[in-house]
Structure 1
Amino acid sequence: MHLRFASAVTAALLVSGVGAKAQDQDCPDPGRQPATEALIALVESDPALQEQLTKSIALGQIINSDPQTNPVASLDDYYGFVDALVTYPPQNINTGIIDDGIRVSMDGKNYCNWNILDLLSYSYFLVDRQLTTDPRGQIQFENDAFSNWMRDVAVEWGKYLETPASAVHIPDFTSDPNFGDWYCPPEGGYKTFQDFFVRELCAATFPTGSRPVEGYNDPATVVAIGDSTSAGWWPISSTGKLVTTYDGVSQAGEMIKGQLYSNVYEFIDGKDGEKVLETFGSIDPTLFKNGTWTHQFLNVNNYHRLHVPVAGKIVYFKHLQAGVRMKSGWAEARETGEISHYDPQDTADWQFGQTRMVIGIETADHGLVVISPMGMAQVSSIVKRDWVKEGAMADKGWEFANFAFGGSDFVVIFEEQANFTLTVDTLAEPAPGAGVNYASSQQGQKYGCFGGVTTCDATPETPPAPPAD
């Protein structure tokens, strides 16, 4: 499928003044897009899909019926939303804030006035409603044809983000301090939104391409792979399952409480229906029985290059193309000064079935460690560095890949013998819907320790630069 991300749409946005403060501007009609026509054909050929989409939209209206923040109330509304989604130039308007300053902007059916995180989170809220009492009863999992259509849209929109037209609103982001002071814009500015999104650490401050790495010389210290927030750590069962609790509401209004058994071995090896894009080496995934699963996530304003958390030899690599799903809910404002918003929800089991890279690193003293960045929503591409080859030695802190608009999730898996302990600080207030609220980490900060202790070294050192690509 080819989506016509028409330059005329971007030109119309410029003429209408959407660049700086677009609120109160009517958006141009992008017209019916090929992606939308493909979806309409799917719906007309599949009565089950028509019913699923209609029900998911209806449940979304029960949760939030405000047309300013949930304007999709019918299938026709959804088709109009898709037209806007696939022609959307990313922007960052300041009309409200959440989470210490992340900007929020929603403007009904004027989708060109929405902020990028709001629009993407909303796009998954619409299809993330619980339709059955199965823990995986969302349309994203229930209908393979629809799931494939979503991936096509993500891939094609990613191509648009690599065109000069996508750069029109980059000043909205570079002028926002929440997008960091760690990068140095190039002379002449960023040429595409993708260039901005994968911006590097400023070479003048970080000459080897990495922040200082805590515990660089201590083999027992594990560091954060990037600027991210921990979602926690969980035991893996003796049969290789990650067991997580589930609490949701079905379309019929029934509460769904129980457990979801996700297969860690399949996460590492891949499963039927997942396309292998590149692979080398081999490992025995059963080494991770009774091991530990950890999960970190990245927000839209984070640094999106990825660094090795432990030193060792690369013995396994597999790049798997699968789903581009995301879990998204509606969060009411929690405190004065914030506003209600769509909330990407990063639960421990949502990574299964996602597009991902799986890399096995053999450490000297603590067994095999698997590191896995994964795509989420329209953030589904991962680009590895050329030095990542079978048998290559990886130094702690070396950059090994980046997300191309996207990717917002990262998993690290440890063997039982590693006896890994998470050491990230926790915050006093609970995380909404998740319990433990972890402090954010910067790339290279101490993340945990091998050996069942918390006292591994945290002395910062600057690592050498990785091999040049």
Structure 2
Amino acid sequence: MRTTNRDPKRQGGWLPQGQDELEQWLDGRIDRLGDEDEPFRHPVIQEFADLVESDGIIRMYFTRMIEEVPKTRHYSKRHITSVRQLLHLIDEVLSTAPEFSEGAMVTTPLTGILDWTMATPSGMAAYRDPRVNAILKKVLDAWAEYLNSPASLYVLNDSPEGWMSPKAREVVGIDQFQHDPEDAHWGFTSWNDFFTRRLADGARPVADPDDDSVIVSACESTPYRISREVARHSEFWIKSQPYSLQDMLADDESVDQFVGGTVYQGFLSALNYHRWHSPVAGTIVRAFVQPGTYFSEADSEGAEAVEAQVSQGYLAHVAARAIILIEADNPAIGLMAVVPVGMVEVSSCLIGEDIVPGHHVEKGDELGCFQFGGSTECLVFRPGAVEEFSLAALPEMSAETPPVIKVRSKLAVAPRG
């Protein structure tokens, strides 16, 4: 397998740039906590506590992952001292929405809280346990309910931490998206409504709409890796995380068609547009969400193990993800797969209601979205389906500021008859 890969050590806006900022943020949240013996506010956190208390293996994991020291993180001190304190911190998050920040850890607060534990041996085992992932899904569903409610709109204000502040407006590029500038909250009904904002008319035009040999970008993302001659089976958990088609595509019956083909992967930052669009014109063959892990990272990557951007290949096989198979109108492309992959708390993959078998999509049509963000996306092609990728799509190992591929812009070209 031949692989072109850029090591994206620059974080994508999910975590702070410096360790000190993360620890200060965590200390601030801990200072606001009351007595550990106080009851939890959310029933799902009590259910979480009951699971830890009643299951000896899970209790061992959670106790030890707080006691252990991360081998890949250089914390100045131990901030979290007990499982109950950890659960109270999560409990508090479920009634908050992410604030705007240029550097502090506010965009993914659950990751900030769990960061220490994710980098320990016991934590890496715990976050692969199906029972732990089942309760984490319930926690994330409870938070999603809040983030879909009007109560979460309090962060849409013009304070320095608000998403309507001058700096946030500039960074988000709100004028490129549908919104009502006269409305108190720009016309959005919740935090998630804002986060999954839609493009304004004329923004992100479809590249070469009448040329079915031109494949467009499915997401607004940064190129991460292009792998060719991809295998059906590989040890995706080892260093370099080679793609394993059977695992990535959840053992779908189409896997054989992609063996020896190509995988393109890009990652999304916290401020990117988070809807997915069809790279080609074609007919939906299948579309489903594959459950998976939420806070698991690739422990094979040494000092970079807990940096999510360095675990992108691994996450494509184990994290919660959508799998959308499209039979392109262009026979040179044929069957292809769009695989948006969730990461940590940004793991809700919502497929569009009309994206069902037999439905025809035009190139650039919307397929679905990440609720509260997203992490990475893969496009899977049959052997010979891609003649070349555009220069902008090629991962650049020396780039200090990685380029962002605009959604619906030219990504690749199929062979022309």
Q: Which runs of 4+ in 1 moved over 6 A?
A: 23-26
Q: 1:215 to 1:327 in 2, by over 3 A?
A: farther
Deviation string, structure 1 residues 253-286 (Cα, Å, up to 9, x no partner): xxxxxx7576422432x36xxxxxxxxxx85321
The reply on whether 1:45 has 2:54 as its aligned counterpart is yes
Contact map agreement 2:292 2:318 (CA 8 A) in 1: yes
Give the number of the structure whose residues are more often strand, by fraction.
Answer: 1
Deviation larger for 344-353 or 55-64? 55-64
1:112 corresponds to which residue?
none
Q: 1:228 to 1:326 in 2, by over 3 A?
A: farther
1:198 corresponds to which residue?
196
1:321 corresponds to which residue?
291
The reply on whether 1:350 has 2:310 as its aligned counterpart is no
* Structure 2 CA distance for aligned equivalents of residues 418 and 438 of structure 1: 26
The reply on whether 1:148 has 2:147 as its aligned counterpart is no
Q: 1:160 to 1:61 in 2, by over 3 A?
A: farther
What displacement does 1:418 show?
A: 1.1
* Structure 2 CA distance for aligned equivalents of residues 320 and 123 of structure 1: 26
1:166 corresponds to which residue?
152
Deviation string, structure 1 residues 90-110 (Cα, Å, up to 9, x no partner): 2124xxxxxxxxx2225xxxx
Contact map agreement 2:206 2:216 (CA 8 A) in 1: yes
Identify unmatched segments of 5+ residues in structure 1. Answer: 1-22, 94-102, 107-114, 248-258, 272-281, 330-341, 432-436, 457-469
The reply on whether 1:307 has 2:277 as its aligned counterpart is yes
The reply on whether 1:403 has 2:356 as its aligned counterpart is no
* Structure 1 CA distance for aligned equivalents of residues 247 and 74 of structure 2: 37
**Percent of matched pairs sharing the same residue:** 21
Contact map agreement 2:33 2:89 (CA 8 A) in 1: no
2:238 corresponds to which residue?
246
Q: Select 1:60's aligned residue among 48, 62, 70.
A: 70
Find the residue that maps to 1:295 and give its secondary structure.
strand
Q: 1:24 to 1:139 in 2, by over 3 A?
A: closer
2:355 corresponds to which residue?
388
Contact map agreement 1:124 1:326 (CA 8 A) in 2: no
Return the TM-score normalized by structure 1.
0.68
Q: Where do 1:147-296 residues align within 5 Å?
A: 147-171=133-157, 172-175=162-165, 176=168, 177-181=170-174, 182-186=176-180, 187-188=182-183, 189=185, 190-203=188-201, 205-206=202-203, 211-238=204-231, 240-242=232-234, 244=236, 246-247=238-239, 263-268=244-249, 270=250, 284-296=254-266
Q: 1:420 to 1:157 in 2, by over 3 A?
A: farther
Q: 1:24 to 1:35 in 2, by over 3 A?
A: closer
Contact map agreement 1:198 1:404 (CA 8 A) in 2: yes
Contact map agreement 1:324 1:354 (CA 8 A) in 2: yes
Pairwise CA RMSD? 3.2
Q: Select 1:131's aligned residue among 93, 102, 121.
A: 121
What displacement does 1:425 show?
A: 4.7
Deviation larger for 55-64 or 151-160? 55-64
Return the TM-score normalized by structure 2.
0.76
Q: 1:157 to 1:224 in 2, by over 3 A?
A: same
Deviation string, structure 1 residues 290-311 (Cα, Å, up to 9, x no partner): 1112212212211111111112
Deviation string, structure 1 residues 396-450 (Cα, Å, up to 9, x no partner): 111121222233221110011314543315446367xxxxx85211111222222
What displacement does 1:157 show?
A: 0.4
Give the number of the structure whose residues are more often helix, by fraction.
Answer: 2
Find the residue that maps to 2:313 and give its secondary structure.
coil
2:95 corresponds to which residue?
87
Q: 1:199 to 1:261 in 2, by over 3 A?
A: closer
Q: 1:408 to 1:216 in 2, by over 3 A?
A: same
* Structure 2 CA distance for aligned equivalents of residues 360 and 352 of structure 1: 16
Q: 1:300 to 1:72 in 2, by over 3 A?
A: same
